[in-house]
Structure 1
Amino acid sequence: MRARMYYAIIVLIVIALGLGSRAYGDFLPDYIAVNAGDVLWAAMIYYGIRALQGDRPLKSAIALSVLFCFAIECSQLYQSPWINAVRSTSLGGLVLGKGFLAVDLIRYSVGIAAACLIDRCCLMKARHS
């Protein structure tokens, strides 16, 4: 239960960082401003799955995160008035995106890998403490 709480707090921190990267992108280097939002979104998904899964293996969180992120991106290939109306809202755009970009799949992979690496390092440190 304690681990789930930590992951939930991390989700909130990553959300704040992601929203900040969008809101203050003009003050960031172009490379970071362009890529950070998607990388952080995927990291948030990973930590959210960890919060929901509890103490299941990291591989499970990685697989579910990749599956979820890739499914959301591929869903953007579907264009219909009703889903585009949802995507045109602030929350709908943040969750569902607006249009398919293959490069986003790379950004999601980087975000999940980075989140997993940080998670694994923290877990190893906690076990040795």
Structure 2
Amino acid sequence: MQASIQRSKTVYLVLLAATLILGLGSRQFASVLPAVVARYSGDALWASMVVWLLTRLWPHASTDRLAVSAFVIALTVELSQLYQAPWINAVRASRVGALAFGQGFLWSDLTCYAVGVSLAALLDWRMVRGKKSARAPGT
């Protein structure tokens, strides 16, 4: 029988907040960042933030399930940008709407999402594995 996954709500809330701050900073200070960081880090961090949000909603879910779910959400949001209606474009024109839903479809964003989800999943897996090792030495 598989042991229940335990995640610290506080740790994941801190990860969520830190990722949000870094993501906003990547947009706010884009002019002083290297071009590749300014262009792609915000999207990768956004996808990582989705992973952290999902860990808050489903703290006992497997890392794989969280990662796949986060990527599906990111993919859905990106594909939704192909839909161009006045009402949704008005939402996307606001700062919050642009940050949450993006502004236009870009294939490169899918790579950024995959990187962001993968890095967050790797960190989550390491933290969960570390907790299991601490609870049951020798396993």
The TM-score normalised by the length of structure 2 is: 0.88
> Partner residue of 1:100?
105
Distance 1:37 1:108 in 2: 10
Which structure 1 residue ranges, 4+ long, deviate > 6 Å from structure 2? Answer: none
Alignment RMSD (CA, Å): 1.3
CA distance in 2, matches of 1:46, 1:126: 19
Gaps of 5+ in 1: none
* Equivalent in the alignment of 1:50: 55
Instruction: Give the % identical residues.
Output: 35
Quick one: distance in 1 between partners of 2:7 and 2:64? 20
| Deviation of the 1:26 alpha carbon | 1.3
1:34-73 alignment, distance < 5 Å: 34-73=39-78
Structure 1 or 2: more helix by fraction: 1
Match of 1:126 in 2: 131
- Number of residue equivalences: 129
| CA positional deviation for 1:2 | 6.1
Kept in 2: contact 1:7–1:50 (CA 8 A): yes
Q: 1:80 aligns with which of 74, 78, 85?
A: 85
**1:13 equivalent in structure 2:** 18
For structure 2, the residue ranges without an aligned partner over 5 or more in a row are 1-5, 135-139
- AA aligned to 1:89 is S
1:105–1:2 distance in 2 versus 1, CA, 3 Å: closer
Q: Is the CA contact (8 Å cut-off) linking 1:86 and 1:93 kept in structure 2?
A: yes
Opposite residue 104 of structure 2, the aligned amino acid is G
For the Cα contact (< 8 Å) 2:19–2:48, is it kept in 1?
yes
**1:5, CA displacement in angstroms?**
3.0
Work out which of the two has the higher radius of gyration on C-alpha atoms and give 1 or 2.
2
